[in-house]
Chain A
Amino acid sequence: MTTLFTILFDGVAYGMLLFVLACGLAVTLGLMNFVNLAHGAFAMTGGYVCAVLVNNSGWPFFAALPLAFVVSAVIGVALERTLYRHLYTRSHLDQVLFTIGLTFMSVAAVDYIMGSSRIFIKLPAALEGQFDFFGVGIGRYRLMIIVICGLLTVGLQLILAKTRFGSRLRAAVDDPRAASGLGINVPQVFAFTFAFGCGLAGLGGALSAEILGLDPYFPLKFMIYFLIVVTVGGSSSITGPFLASLLLGIGDVAGKYYVPKMGPFVIYTIMIVILIWRPNGLFGRTAAR
């Protein structure tokens, strides 16, 4: 019984991590209708920033995390202003070609600068190991992931639903022409949102180095997971991707534990079943934009 809870706990932690990594993609794809396959590159950037700061410059881990967010967001906004902006009105195929190219460039660049071997981030001792909670093994690092990601999710939901910026963003997405007619600076709103999504990916990348491993191929290896989260969750809100991440995280971990031979297929099976049942994802909007 206690094992079941440990599995559940690991699954939730894994799912939360997937959510932070992928929710930026849900925002750009769902809200801005832009296919950004280079999303993982921003996650990798965050991971490497954190690793360099902690390992080489001796920063404490918790100080490096926000910086992973900031650097990824700044790079995100710079690229958005110079490159991405021109592709908003282009077809999805153009966007895919452009962003996949960007991904390959990022892989080659990181390989050149940082080398191709996997790197690790030195963690504070307080985050290592497991403790027992009524017989259930709880990993300290995974607990921290759940706390950070849980807070982020609540914060994001509040911003989107309650703040003025949130309503501006939703307005800009629903009908950009009407929104700009009402005096909303649509490009600015998009730029900010894009940067925020990249920042979240960067934070996710820094958090995931310990669990998923960090190397220059990160953006390619995990692209498929990000896309699964967004397609299963539907891209019209952040609740959808959130629940999808949890479902996939728990499904993946439990599948690998209980049926290790079939383990890697579980996540794809879940995806196929859900997409047959609801082709627009769990919370997809049926109305085409």
Chain B
Amino acid sequence: MSIRRQLLLAAGAVAGVLAVIPAKAQDAVKIGLILPMTGGQASTGKQIDNAVKLYMQQKGDTVAGRKIEVILKDDGAVPDNTKRLAQELIVNDKVSFIAGFGVTPAALAAAPLATQAKVPEIVMAAGTSIITERSPYIVRTSFTLAQSSTIIGDWAAKNGIKKVATLTSDYAPGNDALNFFKQNFTAGGGEIVEEVKVPLQNPDFAPFLQRMKDAKPDAVFVFVPAGQGGNFMKQYAERGLDKAGIKVIGPGDVMDDDLLNGMGDAALGTVTAHLYSAAHPSAMNKDFVAAYKKAYNQRPGFMAVGGYDGIHLIYEALKKTGGKTDGDGLIEAMKGMKWESPRGPISIDPETRDIVQNIYIRKVEKVDGELYNVEFATFEAVKDSGKTKK
């Protein structure tokens, strides 16, 4: 009996080794995808994960003769977790890329690891300007807040908006948005009549909105984290700011596609500047939206596009290096890369490794009974203006 068992064990072990060998021979390229899949930022994580899966379904999971394997980890948008997970992925799983990063602190937490291990860090969501300066191995495929905020500032100053009251969440991206907007809007001759920073965990906008209303501006510039946009718009309408003729402008995060319909008609007429709208009129975007809707039964937002382009960048870089995965070679391959994304033409700035993209001015309108951000003006190839001047 025991001999038989030993034989069985031995056979099992041999089978196990045999099973391992072909996998080794094929030598998969591993990508560590670190995203907030739980917690307040989970919608970001889910969109990016969905988009990456969709891309791999469409394009296959083999590039330059090597199989691509994505390892998904949930950091709950807590930087300590991000750092630990990034370390585990690099050291234990020997990943060739770390990617994802839902919020700025998470992206920053992983930056020293990317530098040390020479592993490219593909930022697919976080939007503070400084991120790409923190490691020569960081490349971004999402956006920076400076891009959209400067553009909406220019646009507002040129389009008859003279007085603006601002309402922004009191954290790094909110302050970025506020400062870049202010800089360009006042340079264009506009005036900020009221400036309110609301706490990040803000239950009730009522008193702040009342203050906005009493300041009687032409428009309110808003930046709140994605989930709070709906609450803001509802209370904005409840308080009658729309009837008082006060417009809402801002970077497009507030009008994220996956939340827009929940906001109701209060959102109609809101003008925002952003990199992506599900209503972007290109054939590629139509296919992308249709495929995404079919697979996940919801609209892709700008976070999904950041993920879709991020995985595309990884694929293309691997093609260029012929499947080699040394960090420096990959980063060189990514610099200056240009391609057509569902959001429009984009490229990676060879100097800053940050994204260069079109910023669109859009207005919320009803299309086939659903709310969409309809683009009506384009600022082409906008670079991030938020980099520290050298």
Contacts and interface: CB of A to CB of B under 8 A. Distances in A.
Interface of A: 3, 6-7, 10, 14, 108, 111, 115-120, 122, 128-130, 137, 139-141, 210-213, 215, 217, 221-222, 225, 252-257, 260-261, 263-264
B206 to A, nearest CB: 5
B201 A213 contact: no
Interface string B233-257: 0110111100000000000000000
B240 A10 contact: no
In the A-B complex, the 5 residue pairs with the smallest Cβ-Cβ separation, listed nearest first, are: A116-B42, A256-B207, A257-B207, A264-B199, A212-B203
Contacts of B43: 115-117
A213 B235 CA distance: 11
A253 B240 contact: no
B259 interface: yes
B370 interface: no
Interface in B304-335: none
Contacts, number: 99
11 contacts: A3-B210, A14-B204, A117-B43, A212-B204, A215-B227, A257-B208, A261-B197, A263-B198, A263-B199, A263-B208, A264-B199
Contacts of B175: none
Given A119-B262, A215-B40, A210 B207 contact: no
B214 interface: yes
Contacts of A260: 196-198, 207-208, 211
B228 interface: yes
A3 B215 CA distance: 12
Nearest to B265: A128
Contact of B238 (A108, A139, A264): A139
A3 B239 CA distance: 12
B38 interface: yes
A118 B230 contact: yes
Interface of A, secondary structure class, is: helix
Interface of B: 38-40, 42-43, 196-199, 201-204, 206-208, 210-211, 214, 227-228, 230-231, 234-235, 237-240, 258-259, 262-264
Nearest to B195: A260
A129 B203 contact: no
Given A211-B204, A213-B203, A213-B228, A7 B210 contact: yes
B227 A130 contact: no
A19 B240 CA distance: 27
Contacts of B42: 111, 115-117
A129 B240 contact: yes
Contacts of A225: 203
A129 B237 contact: yes
A277 B245 CA distance: 47
A130 B263 CA distance: 18
B211 A257 contact: yes
A144 to B, nearest CB: 12
Given A130-B239, A139-B238, A260-B196, A116 B207 contact: no
A221 B227 CA distance: 14
A10 B239 CA distance: 11
Contacts of B263: 120
A6 B210 contact: yes
A222 B238 contact: no
A128 B235 CA distance: 9
Contacts of B227: 117-118, 213, 215
